[in-house]
Structure 1
Amino acid sequence: MFLKNYACCSDERLMEQLNSNIHYQLFCRLLLGIGEQINNFKIISQIRCELSAKLDIDKVQKCLAKHWLPYMEELDQVVTDATCYESSLRFPTDQKLLWEATDWCQNQLKLLCSYGKQAMPRSKYNKWKQRYWNYSRKRRKSKKERTAITRGLLKLLKKLLEELVVMLKQLDVQMPERYYTQYAIIEKVLKQQSYRFATGKSPEDRIVSLSKSYIRPIVRGKETKAVEFGAKVNKIQINGISFIEHLSFDAFNEGTHFKSSVYFAQSLTHTKVKIIGADAIYATNANRRFASFNNIRTDFVRKGRAGKHEHHRKQLAAQIKKERATRLEGSFGKDKQHYYLNRIKARKKDTETLWIFMGIHVGNALEIGRRMQNQAIIAA
């Protein structure tokens, strides 16, 4: 899994690298003989699933911090911020989601009718299939066209779901667990999209993908990407080494994690935090009072009159902001561009969490390795 994020390649490509690169083999404590190779690249996916089921982020991070502390300095200084690591999925629209749900229901009906040797129930599936194809090919879609296609797909999806229930009762068969899970997701999609179509409001915990039903829209407010789809992570950074304070696939306000970030940093380093840098969203009155009570210096914009040492406060705040803007926010881009966190291709919630965890800490491990090498050179 370390090599997966280090090499930034697919499972199949990674297995090819492992078979041909002796350095990768030695890293994995594996030495293949002449002409010997591993052909089953799916073993990487099996390892990923096994590790994701056992991953305890807090426990592992405390273990890593314990071994990395000798190579870290300025343990009383922390910076924190949040980012979104996007998942690999097609850009979600209501029409795409409804069509995927409708198509799934139609395919399940075909299978059940084939099993029971029955004729397919009548529906307008073929008509709406052609209409959806014509709609999807258009570069510009008017509001009138969107409304018509959404209304038609909602009615068709409702009918197909009802037909599935009737068909299962008639045939009296037990479907796999995966079927009932997907049926429940589609039923929830129908309720949410019906509510959205009737009121124009976004429902709570809106599903945007059938294959990744745990993904939620994360409103970031950026110029290029107003909304992102993936896991939101609140990170802390100590001397350039990043740790995950909170990871969630639901949107959350990182400003409420200011206190927990301080306590989390102290639990990792066993050192009292004296300086912390954070974005303006963290600068709430409650967080300001907490920082003042614990004698923690911040880079928050001052409220009220200037103090006696205002000049020194401004200098310190400028240094903290520079550290946060360069090292912490720079680490977001480095993780996404160099450690395979740009578009996460995992298919399950647990494996996607493991993917993010490995991507962040692979970068940390390489940085610690460079520091170990520098210390060895100096000592020599």
Structure 2
Amino acid sequence: MPKIRRILDFQHSFTFSSQTEQFDAFYARFLESDLGKIYIAIPWDELVKSFGLKESKKGPRSIFSTKGKLALMFLKHYGGCSDRKLMEQLNGNLDWQFFCDIYLGADRLENFKMASEVRCELARKLDIDKVQQTFYGHWSPHMADKGSITMDATCYESHLRYPTNVKLLWEAVDWLHGLMKGICKKTGETLPRSKYLKWKKRYVSYSKMRRKTKKKRRALTRGLLLLLDKLGGEVDRLEARHAVAMTKGQYRRRATAKKVLAQQHGYFHHGKKPKDRIVSMDRPYIRPIVRGKEIKPVEFGAKVNKFQIDGISFIEHPGFDAFHEGNRFQDTIFKAQRLTRTRTRLAGADAIYATNKNRKFATKYDIRTDFKRKGRAGKHEKQRIKLAGAITRERASRLEGSFGKDKEHYHLKRIRARTRETEILWIFFGIHTGNALEIGRRMAATALEKAA
């Protein structure tokens, strides 16, 4: 390795074009890095086929190839940065350019929204089972004990302000008032009178209060409910009178505002707990997920049930509606067996999975678990306790640890995607970026052993 020197010492003789002259040396250095290990571990050609990506023959040529589009998503989670920062790093980092199958040279990518466009394109094509089968087919030689699995569920939170009824009602009122103003401006109609400005001042004043009393909250909620009902009626009247054509997104948001009004009216006046409660006007598919944690009893985002085989994680079921993970035990076993083509012999899961139905299923198919024993001890109780302890340690260390690793190191702590499909894609690439790095390190270790 040449001696590292400062650019100031030889700035008059150094040329950055030497990157192209010494391509092989730079590329070899890239493959030695952690990013290079991820690159080696990913079956690019098979992955492109699994997503059904093809080079478009119409229009200008895309900057990113089909392989480069997938690489951009892995790179985002490896770097853990925003779309804007992703493009800034890509402009100046040669390793990142190698990973994305491009070389920019003196050029720069200015449009950071390209990452979002690629994410939306891939989200429409994602088939989780098909793509995970592709990953497993490539990674299986580096995975041991395929008949043993561990499973658990977690919530990957969306980037969302903490929802309250007052905030939600005000967002609906504010959006409907803006829509009404736009319709009136377009049609030349006089803006209907409303108490929007009065309640805006009251909402701002309420938001600044350090101590929000029940009396103040109820008065504000009552007023916003009446105002939301009035604005919704005015928009319906203007639409019917002028035959206004709205966008698909506006119709969707109006339907959300009507559902918010119905839910909050029933809850405020009749104490009726809303079913499928909406917590965000922007993302109406998000639901409260009651987790029961001491610090954070309720989370807002996608709940994912996943399983691990030899420390490699696979998604079993993602969903934004709350579900009981204990009911996913049998489906998880069947999905793991379809993936590996191997009968599951050991299954680790926490106490919530230990229902009578799951115990009978495990006994019927001779699956050893770490469930707490019911009834009298058998004659092999010592061996059972030892086996259950080993399964529990595997689950508690590797599986539970992978949740924190995904959230802290692979950009899954607060998901900033804006649609249901892109949030699922975000979670998918975050989980499998960690998997690819682990497999890449195993491949490098194996190659080193063979060389020795």
- SS of the aligned residue for 1:135 comes to helix
Alignment of 1:199-348 (within 5 A): 199-348=270-419
Aligned partner of 2:122 in structure 1 is 51
Query: Contact (CA 8 Å) 2:153, 2:304: kept in 1 or not?
Result: yes
Task: Work out which of the residue numbers 93, 111, 134 in structure 1 matches 2:182.
Answer: 111
Tell me the percent identity: 58
- SS of the aligned residue for 1:73 comes to coil
Q: TM-score, normalised by structure 2?
A: 0.83
Aligned partner of 2:42 in structure 1 is none
Q: Give 4+ residue runs of structure 1 displaced > 6 Å after superposition.
A: none
1:134 matched to 2:187: no
Q: Distance in 2 between matches of 1:122 and 1:27?
A: 58
Aligned partner of 1:19 in structure 2 is 91
- Quote the offset at 1:199 in angstroms: 2.9
- Quote the offset at 1:341 in angstroms: 0.1
- Quote the offset at 1:127 in angstroms: 1.2
1:178 matched to 2:254: no
Aligned partner of 1:357 in structure 2 is 428
Cα offsets for 1:284-327 (capped at 9, x unmatched): 00100000011111000100001101111111111111111110
- SS of the aligned residue for 2:307 comes to strand
Q: Distance in 1 between matches of 2:214 and 2:351?
A: 38
Task: Work out which of the residue numbers 224, 233, 252 in structure 2 matches 1:153.
Answer: 224
- Quote the offset at 1:119 in angstroms: 2.2
Aligned partner of 2:63 in structure 1 is none
Task: Work out which of the residue numbers 27, 31, 35 in structure 1 matches 2:103.
Answer: 31
- Quote the offset at 1:106 in angstroms: 0.9
Task: Work out which of the residue numbers 53, 57, 81 in structure 2 matches 1:9.
Answer: 81
- SS of the aligned residue for 2:317 comes to strand
Higher RCO, 1 or 2 (CA under 8 Å, sep at least 6)? 1
Cα offsets for 1:85-142 (capped at 9, x unmatched): 0000100000000000001111111112222223221111111111111111112211
Structure ID, larger Rg: 2
Cα offsets for 1:152-179 (capped at 9, x unmatched): 1001100000001111222222122221
List gaps (5 residues or longer) in structure 2: 1-72
* Counterpart amino acid of residue 118 in structure 1: E
Q: Distance in 1 between matches of 2:380 and 2:363?
A: 15
Query: Contact (CA 8 Å) 2:183, 2:244: kept in 1 or not?
Result: no
- Quote the offset at 1:211 in angstroms: 0.4
- SS of the aligned residue for 2:316 comes to strand
Q: Distance in 2 between matches of 1:117 and 1:62?
A: 58
Deviates more, 1:108-117 or 1:231-240: 108-117
Q: Distance in 2 between matches of 1:32 and 1:143?
A: 59
- Quote the offset at 1:200 in angstroms: 2.5
- SS of the aligned residue for 1:82 comes to strand
Aligned partner of 1:122 in structure 2 is 193
| Paired residue total | 379
Q: Distance in 2 between matches of 1:370 and 1:248?
A: 31
- SS of the aligned residue for 2:411 comes to coil
- SS of the aligned residue for 2:153 comes to strand
Aligned partner of 2:5 in structure 1 is none
Cα offsets for 1:230-289 (capped at 9, x unmatched): 000001000000000000000000001101111111111111111110011100001000
Q: Distance in 2 between matches of 1:279 and 1:314?
A: 15
- Quote the offset at 1:11 in angstroms: 0.7
Q: TM-score, normalised by structure 1?
A: 0.98
Q: Distance in 1 between matches of 2:308 and 2:146?
A: 10
